[in-house]
Amino acid sequence: SAIDAPAGQQPTATYESAFLKACRREPVPHTPVWFMRQAGRSLPEYLKVREGIGMLDSCERPDLVAEITLQPVRRHRVDAAIYYSDIVVPLRAIGIDLDIKPGVGPVVDQPFRTRADLARLRDLTPDDVPYVTEAIGLLTAELGATPLIGFAGAPFTLASYLVEGGPSRTYENAKAMMYGDPELWADLLDRLADITAGFLKVQIEAGASAVQLFDSWAGALAPADYRRSVLSASAKVFKAVEGYGVPRIHFGVGTGELLGLLGEAGADVVGVDWRVPLDEAARRVGPGKALQGNLDPTVLFAGTRAVETKAREVLDAAAGLEGHVFNLGHGVMPSTDPDALTRLVEYVHTQTAN
- Residues binding ligand CP3: what is the number (CB under 6 A)? 23
301 backbone dihedrals φ, ψ, rounded to 5°: -90, 0
Give me the least distance between CB of 46 and ligand CP3, in Å please. 7
Q: How many CA atoms lie within 13 A of 321 on its CB side?
A: 31
37 marked ligand binding residue: yes
Strands 105-108, 98-101: parallel, antiparallel or unpaired by DSSP?
antiparallel
Q: Which stretch binds ligand CP3 (CB under 6 A): 97-105, 112-120, 257-265, 303-311?
A: 97-105
As to burial, measured by CB atoms within 10 angstroms (0-12 exposed, 13-18 middle, 19+ buried), residue 265 is buried
Give me the least distance between CB of 165 and ligand CP3, in Å please. 14
Q: Which stretch binds ligand CP3 (CB under 6 A): 39-47, 127-135, 179-187, 228-236?
A: 39-47
Active-site residue, 37 included: yes
Q: How far apart are CA 330 and CA 196, in angstroms?
A: 21
What lies within 8 Å, CB to CB, of 70 at 6+ separation is 81, 139, 142, 143
Nearer CB in complex with ligand CP3: 50/343 = 50
CA nearest neighbour of 96 among 113, 111, 84: 111
Query: Which 210-249 residues touch ligand CP3, going by CB under 6 A?
Result: 214, 216
What lies within 8 Å, CB to CB, of 203 at 6+ separation is 83, 132, 136, 150, 151, 211
169 marked ligand binding residue: no
Q: Could you tell me if 179 and 216 are in contact, meaning their C-beta atoms sit under 8 angstroms apart?
A: no
Q: How far apart are CA 150 and CA 206, in angstroms?
A: 10
41 marked ligand binding residue: yes
Q: How far apart are CA 246 and CA 134, in angstroms?
A: 20
User: Rule CB under 6 A: is residue 102 a binding residue for ligand CP3?
Assistant: yes
Question: Exactly one of 41, 61, 275, 343 is catalytic; which is it?
Answer: 41
Active-site residue, 122 included: no
- The separation between CA 53 and the C-alpha centre of its own chain, rounded to angstroms, equals 24
74 marked ligand binding residue: no
Query: Which 44-63 residues touch ligand CP3, going by CB under 6 A?
Result: 50, 55
Query: Which 169-208 residues touch ligand CP3, going by CB under 6 A?
Result: none
Active-site residue, 50 included: yes
Query: Which 153-172 residues touch ligand CP3, going by CB under 6 A?
Result: 167
Tell me the C-alpha to C-alpha distance, in Å, between residue 1 and each of 29, 47, 245, 269: 22, 42, 9, 13
Nearer CB in complex with ligand CP3: 253/311 = 253
Give me the least distance between CB of 95 and ligand CP3, in Å please. 19
Q: Which stretch binds ligand CP3 (CB under 6 A): 103-111, 119-127, 255-263, 309-317?
A: 103-111
Give me the least distance between CB of 116 and ligand CP3, in Å please. 26
Question: Exactly one of 79, 86, 194, 268 is catalytic; which is it?
Answer: 86
User: Rule CB under 6 A: is residue 331 a binding residue for ligand CP3?
Assistant: yes
Question: Largest Cα–Cα distance of the chain, in whole Å?
Answer: 58
Question: Exactly one of 15, 46, 84, 161 is catalytic; which is it?
Answer: 161
Active-site residue, 161 included: yes
Residues labelled as active-site residues: 37, 41, 50, 86, 161
Contact residues: ligand CP3, CB under 6 A: 36-41, 50, 55, 82, 84-87, 100, 102-103, 105-106, 151, 167, 214, 216, 331
Which residues are known binding-site members for substrate?
37-41, 86, 161, 216, 330
